[in-house]
Amino acid sequence: MKATFLAIRSIGVEFANRIFYPIVIAATILAAILVGLALWLTTFSEWWWLLFFPIVIALCVAFGVLTVVKLTIRSVTPDQTKAQKQASKQFVDKLQRLAEVTGTPKIVLLFRIVRDIAAPREDGFITSLATDTLSVKRDFTAIQQSFKK
Q: What is the pLDDT of residues 100-130, one digit of tens each?
A: 777 877 778 777 877 887 777 777 777 777 6
* pTM of the complete model beyond 0.95: no
Q: Which amino acid is at 87?
A: A
Contacts 24+ apart (CB under 8 A), 20-23: 20/66, 20/69, 20/70, 20/73, 20/110, 22/106, 23/66, 23/106, 23/107, 23/110
Q: Are 109 and 19 in contact (CB under 8 A)?
A: yes
Terminal C-alpha separation, the chain: 12
Comparison of pLDDT for 116 and 149, the residue scoring more: 116
Q: What local confidence, expressed as pLDDT, does residue 101 receive? A: 75
Q: What is the pLDDT of residues 11-64, one digit of tens each?
A: 888 888 888 899 899 999 999 999 999 999 999 999 999 999 999 999 999 999
